[in-house]
Amino acid sequence: MTYKNFTVETDADGIALVTWDMPDKSMNVFTEEVMDEFETIIDRVAADASIKGAVFTSGKDSFSGGADLGMLQKMLGVFHAEKAKDPERAMALLFEGAGRMGWLWRKLETSGKPWVSAINGTCMGGAFELSLACHGRVAADIDKVKMALPEVKVGIFPGAGGTQRVPRLTDQQQALQMLTSGQTLSPQKAKAMGLIHAVAEPAKLIDAAKAMILGGLKPVQPWDEKGFKLPGGPIYSAAGANLWPAAIAILRRETYGNYPAAAAILKCVYEGLLVPFDTALRIEQRYFTEILQTKEAAAMIRSLFVSLQELNKGARRPAGVAETKFTKIGVVGAGFMGAGIAYVTARAGIPVVLIDRDMEAAEKGKAHSEGLISDAVKKGRAKPEEKEKLLSLITPSADYADLDGADLVIEAVFEDSEVKKATTGKAEAVLKPGAVFASNTSTIPITSLAKNSARPKDFIGIHFFSPVDRMMLVEIILGKKTGDKALAVAIDYVRAIRKTPVVVNDTRGFYVNRCVLRYMSQAYKMLIEGVPAAMIENGARAAGMPVGPLALTDETAVDLAQKIMRQTARDLGEKAVDPAQMALIDTLVDKFDRRGRKNGKGFYDYPAKPAKKKLWPGLKDLYPQKRAEDVDYEELKRRFLVVIALEAARVMEEGIVTDPREADVGSILAFGFAPFTGGVLSYIDGIGAAAFVSIAKGLQKKYGPDFKPPKLLLDMAAKGETFYQRFDPYTKDGERKAA
């Protein structure tokens, strides 16, 4: 029998090798078709007396990325359509669909024949759950083999037996940590936890898997045998009494109750370990069905899986422009940002010339890369030979002539228009025809910088965030004259360095900084109102932000906030800056020399390690303090999310961002906007435009014009529209979206 997605070959020893290799796919994923075929194979192996057992592996470099989440979206679409006609039938269909994979894996492990999973590469989600259902598991001893159950990161949880098999194979503490964090495991770590049985050389992986069957591997899982005992002891034990109250408290501390899937994991594990395995799977299926219906799951799957993948594949790339294969990149400015850009470029295997005013400064920039890669080697994230290769790709120089032959030059000099003007002229003098020049600026409009260029069509903004090596988002800014080729080259470059591009039309502060500044500004207002600083920081984190606004100001520098305010006042007039906020920042910088983390004191004090930072006690003396009980904590949390979302809506109204996917993904990757919401626009859509406008107007009455809804939102509220309806990204793929 032949299959579309699998091959099955039985050797002389009676062992079937089942190789998964989906045609026209770079990575295997579970679809309905794949599961149908695989169920047929399970039945065939079980029924054929000549087959002693089966080895399951992949025909690709990776093992599998798990389930196709598009399949879940389709299942939910059917559920919502059916729910309007027959709610009970809709729920039954969803429940059945939610358990399909879990019960298929259960069929495999109770089939009466031993199965071994031979893991040859990345093994994620449902694929790892399949492996855990196999009676034996062996992984190749190579770096590319990574195993994880990362579903919680997209708002769901391992619902194909993962919450039941992991805590039956390893102790409950390690199981909970892995399941609630989506932790990635190396073969060695997985073996130490008891999740796989062996690690083998890649060339001997299949032989090792077959040897397990020939060695008498039992076709029965430990939990199906009489007398099975949980690793680390049962729930109701001294160990359980120590673990579970702490686990619940830690989850609450880390998630603030914002992630239903993470809470469901604890419930699944706790309840499931008290009952027989089949009942435990039914409990998991029940919770999985419940979580699939949450708005958090829908929003996170869309933004953090579907949209993120689409943007990473170049959804906004102009059609008809040949892809650029980079042979040389130039970076002008070897300071912190430029050095970071050089590092990520070389890390991607692209040769880079790093230019500065003299060789000493250029060499210092290269030394930054040496420090980063040395640290990666020390932590086991890179090999010594990778360090040598990376450093060999970075050429420090003080001569602009060395930019000759570069496909792309990125200017990362001091944030000063005149300095950037001089740099542009020197670089363009040696650039080959068709090469693209990009400015890494966070504040100066690209259109104004492009006036210094002799070829504005090839001039574009590529805005990195700090630190470059860790931040995954890059804003690509279009000037008024930027051409399609420059946009395509910029997107190709961002994809080449494995970051996510979002395309932004030109404006002051672009997209991300406009939203971030609103976040910080709201915190300054709260301080001035007398809200205790600790409530501000804790409220922001409880709302879902990863870093409090005062801590974020310290990270970016308090004196930078001062410079931005002063520049804004110069450019737009004194009324453009709140004088009370300006006075607060001036007091910190000019009176107390509190400039942020860089000088060890800002809104926080930064003592020598290992002591942790703590809020500066002097903050409470700057303004009369409110009592904590006089602050509406829920309203405080809401203010942070609403003020950011309103600015994002204004950005959409102005045509600065035109694709809701970019607004949502950008907000999460750049400044961590409450990921459980799916991003800024999904946050509004989840509430509903009319309800959101009502909330905003209520806040506007109390706290002023920052909360005034733009006309776009008022119109959407009147029409009952969502952003994904109003700005449907799927009708415009491949087209340039003008402001």
Asked whether residue 10 carries a pLDDT value surpassing 50, the answer given is yes
DSSP letters for 384-446 = HHHHHHHHHTEEEES-GGGGTT-SEEEE---S-HHHHHHHHHHHHTTPPTT-EEEE--SSS-H
Residues of the chain with CATH 3.90.226.10: 6-217+230-293
> Which pLDDT score, from 0 to 100, does residue 273 have?
97
What pLDDT was estimated at residue 739?
31
Task: Show the CA angle centred on residue 454, arms to residues 451 and 457, nearest 5°.
Answer: 80
As a whole number, the mean pLDDT across the chain is 94
- Identify whether the C-beta of residue 100 lies closer than 8 Å to the C-beta of residue 106: no
CA distance 124 to 131: 10
442 — pLDDT class (breaks 50, 70, 90) = confident
Mean pLDDT to the nearest integer, 701-716 = 97
Q: Sorting pLDDT into bands at 50, 70 and 90, what band is 379?
A: confident
Catalytic residue among 135, 197, 368, 463: 463
In 585-649, DSSP assigns E strands to 604-605, 614-615
Give the CA-trace dihedral at 627, 544, 340, 352, to 10 degrees: -160
The class that CATH gives domain 513-726 is mainly alpha
Find out whether 457 and 479 touch, Cβ atoms under 8 Å: no
**CATH of segment(s) 329-508:** 3.40.50.720
Q: Where in the chain is the domain with CATH 1.10.1040.50?
A: 513-726
Condensed to tens digits (0 to 9), the pLDDT of residues 711-736 reads 999 999 999 999 999 999 987 543 43
Residue extent(s) of CATH 3.40.50.720 domains in the chain: 329-508
Per-residue model confidence as pLDDT tens digits over 274-312: 999 999 999 999 999 999 999 999 999 999 999 999 999
Of 221-225, 258-262, 461-465, 510-514, where does mean pLDDT reach its minimum? 510-514
Among 625, 630, 645, CA closest to 689: 645
119-166 pLDDT, tens digit each: 999 999 999 999 999 999 999 999 899 999 999 999 999 999 999 999
What's the CATH superfamily of 6-217+230-293? 2-enoyl-CoA Hydratase; Chain A, domain 1 (3.90.226.10)
* pLDDT confidence of residue 732: 55
% of the chain exceeding 90 in pLDDT: 88
Q: Is the pLDDT of residue 460 over 90?
A: yes
> What does the pLDDT average to over 670-679?
95
Active site residue 463: yes
Ramachandran angles phi, psi of 614, nearest 5°: -145, 150
pLDDT band at residue 27, thresholds of 50, 70 and 90? very high
